[in-house]
Structure 1
Amino acid sequence: MADPGPEPVYLRVLLHFRGNFVRDPASYVGETYLVTDMDFAAMNLAACVEYLDRFIGEPIEKLFYAERHMPLELGVRWIEDDADYAFFLDTGYEEPDLL
């Protein structure tokens, strides 16, 4: 039997949704869910947004991520296009065991 190869490595993404950014202290207040079984690297931005729309049950207005090791007010980045999405994935895979 052929070797199926290594197990895929999925990013652990702590998804925050149905909420708002607040200023003091800088945070996002809303629902959260830890996504551990989705291959975000196999998607482009449009496919990711479509998946998240279905998961959340409502359209996503904007998609953001927070850079690790940075305060939220300095590390929040808008994922506006596929280049931003690729950068999000690249930075996520630098330390995949961290959120």
Structure 2
Amino acid sequence: MVLFRSLLGGVLRARRMQQGLTLRQVSQNARVSLGYISEIERGQKEASSELLFSLCSALDLPLSEVLREVSDAVALEEAALELAATPLPVVPVGRRTSGDVVASAA
């Protein structure tokens, strides 16, 4: 399962760090407690739309840009989960061709 809050927190943390900002600086600019921002970045708390807007403003980022990055991350996670859930075809021993991949027990 893809957790939106974890991906959102990762995007916010990455963007904050790219700008060289500390949690304290973002906390002061957004007027949100440092501890709460930390929990959001670690995916432990959900950010309301108002809080997310404040964080984006403090980071001088358009909300749409942050949401687009999160959306892209969700799409990658979904693709990875789908790929992991797709069973590999089983080729009977007598019907293998030179192009088939055979797992080794070694």
Q: Same fold (TM over 0.5)?
A: no
Higher RCO, 1 vs 2 (CA within 8 Å, ≥6 residues apart): 2
More strand by share: 1
TM-score (norm: length of structure 1): 0.29
Highest CA radius of gyration, 1 or 2? 2
Which one has a larger percent helix, Structure 1 or Structure 2?
Answer: 2
